[in-house]
Structure 1
Amino acid sequence: MGKVTPLRRRLSAAGLRAVATASGLLLLLGGCGVIAETDARNTGSSAAVPVPAAPVPTPTPIPTPGKGPACPELRCTSITITGDMLVHTQLWQQARADAAAAGRPGYNFVPLLEGQRRYIGSSDLAICHQETPVANPEGPFSAYPSFNVPPQIITASKEVGYQACTTASNHTIDRGTEGLLRTLDALDAAGLKHTGSYRTEAESKEILMLKTPAASVAVIEGTYGHNGQVPEYPWLVDELDPAVMIAKAIRARALGADIVLGVMHAGDEYASEPNAQQQDVAHALVDSGQFTMVYGHHTHSVLPIENYKGTWIVYGLGNGITELSPWYVVNNEGLLVRAQFSQNSAGAWRASDLAWAPSVIVRDPYRWCSVASDAPQGVCASPAADAQTHQRTQAVVESMGAAAAGAHELLITKDK
């Protein structure tokens, strides 16, 4: 029979507690997780029968409506995107004046961006586009055609609420690898996440994953070129290659991304419609089934919004900030877009709301200003000029059927 263990010895000495049932005896072996059933007609044998595990309750998703419009499902998240942060000489002169007015040294870009804060605060995540490299805090600075701008634009972006910025553009390597690295260092120091340019080849293979209370968001960017320059290493800046972007999106999904944003830095400057490259790349990204939304910048003008096979494509956000151009009025205008995404009962995420707000840059002092119909900042340039900007922007935005597909103007003063 073998050696009797101490546990068996104690059980034999104490006896087994028996409970009579209609069909036999259930011998309860306390703490063992097994019930031994003995037939009343044959008390000399027993067979171990596993106790069925208690059913594990299906976890109930926690309602997470997110910021922004009313959530049509149990879980939603909203993302705000804006166009090029393009700092010219006039803007850093304004930032220096604003710093001096506050009794501070250096450059303060927060007043320039302040009008965006309310919009950013109405979303769970806000992503900017840092168009150019930044210099050291005291310069030297330069504007077009080879930018090297005050890094305080990055700290101001963080101050008004942005959590991340894309960095791949035709100006990314204006100041070579050194300028690229300096920009990434400034973003890190400010606490802004980033993607589009990289310090190392290993870093270039990583995917920017951002968390909101309800979702994990991946951001994948590419630029059409570098103004004839060649990066020191091929992995320094993400290129506008749909096959590469789709491969990254597949990896992002495997890593747990709920929402994947494709970002294009491309197009014809000052245009009012997307070019063939933009449409081909955007449609390829959507056709892959891996992207939840696609958007772009670079043209320094607002471009249409398209709903392609149920997926939103925002072709061009215009300028987030810029100087006032005396030649191209569209250069002075921009588009802020807030997209709400909701998760249905099957677990899939989709865009459930897309809203846009037109903007303009004004001067004396230089400021970003919304010309949305609810005029949250009051009059920007003049009532007539604001109306013209609004009309021009709306006509372009809706020229590819966006309104019929459900895109609408964002009236921030009407938000919940």
Structure 2
Amino acid sequence: MVQPSRTTRSRLLPGLLSMMSSLVIVACSAAPHSPDRSEGSDSAPSAPATVTASAVPSPPAESGPTGETDPDCPGGACATVVMTGDLLLHGALWDQAALDAEVPGELDFRPMLAAQKEYVAPSDLAICHLETPVASPDGPFSTYPAFNVPPQILTAVKDTGYDACTTASNHTLDAGTTGLNRTLDALDAAGLGHTGSYKTSADAADILIAPAGAAAVALVTGTYALNGLVPEQPWQVDTLDTAVMIGKARQARAQGAEIVIGAVHAGDEYADYANNQQQSVAHALVDSGEFDLIYGHHSHSVLPIEKYRDTWIIYGLGNTIAAHATPDIRNTEGLMVRARFSRDDDGESWDVSELAWLPATWNGPEHRWCPVSIAALEKISRTGVVCVSPEADAASRARTMTVVESMGAAADGAVEWPEP
């Protein structure tokens, strides 16, 4: 895999703009939520961002990556994007990272995410969602109500195969502007691209466009709230504003993006449905004709997948990993989604030719991410290595499938991820 790049100023890996990239993309849905006392609640939604589409610069369009044609792809060329949900570090996770480290006093989060690698690494574009700011390597660290987590998690994210992370969430400002800037610096140091929060107005006006297979993919983000906190500058965090997001999508296409994905941070916590706000926002983005896929996070639970006007909406990916104090089985489950985009016969437009979803859990004593798809369960039956227990793993898959398919995803062609 190679590093993502921008067609304009880069906030990704310095000096690697010419390299191709593999990125896991994570998408969000938008809505107010009921407070989760273990994760942090939002006292009031933040004001919409004042950034307008006209504030986005219009540099000359640059061509995206051409890639090699693939005879197995409809249209001869494909781009594979992988997305996962909230990466939310509670204290139990960095306690486990200390136990997993070979050197006393250090933290190693790689074992927690290790099982993701065979799913993430083969993708053309892999994107995580970093829910919280990161602290300095030696701390101090904090969890609810204001997160400030170990930056060592980013080493694990990179090692797992992710290429970039979205950073717009209700917790983005938990450590203020200092924490926001420190987080972006840590992402840069780890070699991870990022979008959703920004150090400068010029960065905020820039669009993340990354090469993925044979296509150039843009990512546009927005969060429904900032936990009542007010940014020092209105451009510091992408807030949920459909007009702004649509404007950025149009600008991305003007800059050479062939595929535009919207990532929405919103929803009701621990729900198993997409609420009215999530649906109205996602539908508005699709109705604009500027987005090729919408995905969401924030609810800390798996939400349905819908095909609306021939465009896939993944309303909620749940958690990538977390350790909530709130005892709810839904916050120990998540989705990884792979969207395979194929170029149409006209050679101009791209559509999702396959959407695959992978159910997962980490509800074990060592907090290991663990797939529970039918293919994974069959492997478990052969090897005897389970995630939680055979009964719990099967129940997790069944619960996830019921929610994922509750808005007609199966009938519309979404499939459970086969063996990697």
Mark yes or no: TM-score above 0.5: yes
Q: Contact (CA 8 Å) 2:335, 2:357: kept in 1 or not?
A: yes
Q: Secondary structure at the match of 2:210?
A: strand
Q: Look up the match of 1:338.
A: 338
Match of 1:400 among 407, 410, 418: 407
Q: Contact (CA 8 Å) 1:133, 1:148: kept in 2 or not?
A: yes
Unaligned runs of 5+ in 2: 1-65
Q: Deviations over 1:290-347 (max 9, x none)?
A: 1010000000000000000000000000000001555211011000000000001212
Tell me the distance in 1 between the aligned counterparts of 2:327 and 2:213. Answer: 44
When the two chains are superposed, the root-mean-square deviation of aligned CA atoms in Å is 1.4
Superposition pairs of residues 259-338 of structure 1, within 5 angstroms:
259-323=259-323, 325=325, 327-338=327-338
Q: Deviations over 1:348-406 (max 9, x none)?
A: 10000000000111333221111111115642100100111000000000000000000
Q: Contact (CA 8 Å) 2:133, 2:180: kept in 1 or not?
A: yes
Superposition pairs of residues 240-251 of structure 1, within 5 angstroms:
240-251=240-251
Q: Look up the match of 1:210.
A: 210
Q: Look up the match of 2:369.
A: 368
Q: Secondary structure at the match of 1:412?
A: coil
Q: Secondary structure at the match of 1:238?
A: coil
Q: Look up the match of 1:97.
A: 99
Tell me the distance in 2 between the aligned counterparts of 1:284 and 1:269. Answer: 22
Name the amino acid aligned to 2:410.
Answer: A
Superposition pairs of residues 9-408 of structure 1, within 5 angstroms:
63-65=68-70, 70-99=72-101, 102-103=102-103, 105-323=105-323, 325=325, 327-346=327-346, 347-375=348-376, 378-408=385-415
Q: Contact (CA 8 Å) 2:74, 2:343: kept in 1 or not?
A: no
Name the amino acid aligned to 1:273.
Answer: Y
Taking CA–CA contacts closer than 8 Å with sequence separation of 6 or more, which of the two structures ends up with the larger relative contact order? Answer: 2
- In the superposition, relative to structure 1, how do residues 62 and 322 fare at CA in structure 2: closer, same or farther (>3 Å)? closer
- TM norm structure 2: 0.81
Tell me the distance in 1 between the aligned counterparts of 2:276 and 2:210. Answer: 31
Q: Deviations over 1:205-262 (max 9, x none)?
A: 0000111231100000000001111111111000110000000000000111011000
Tell me the distance in 1 between the aligned counterparts of 2:298 and 2:283. Answer: 18
Q: Report % sequence identity.
A: 57
Q: How many residues align?
A: 348
- Which stretches of structure 1, 4 residues or more, deviate above 3 A after TM superposition? none
- In the superposition, relative to structure 1, how do residues 238 and 326 fare at CA in structure 2: closer, same or farther (>3 Å)? closer
Tell me the distance in 1 between the aligned counterparts of 2:227 and 2:213. Answer: 39
Name the amino acid aligned to 1:369.
Answer: C
Q: Secondary structure at the match of 1:294?
A: strand
Q: Contact (CA 8 Å) 2:333, 2:360: kept in 1 or not?
A: yes
Q: Deviations over 1:98-123 (max 9, x none)?
A: 11xx2364111000010111110231
Tell me the distance in 2 between the aligned counterparts of 1:179 and 1:326. Answer: 26
Q: Contact (CA 8 Å) 2:108, 2:156: kept in 1 or not?
A: yes
- The structure that is strand-richer by fraction is 1
- TM norm structure 1: 0.82
Q: Deviations over 1:162-221 (max 9, x none)?
A: 001000000000000000000000000001000000001111000001112311000000
Unaligned runs of 5+ in 1: 1-60
Q: Could you tell me how far 1:412 is from its partner in structure 2?
A: 2.5
Name the amino acid aligned to 2:171.
Answer: H
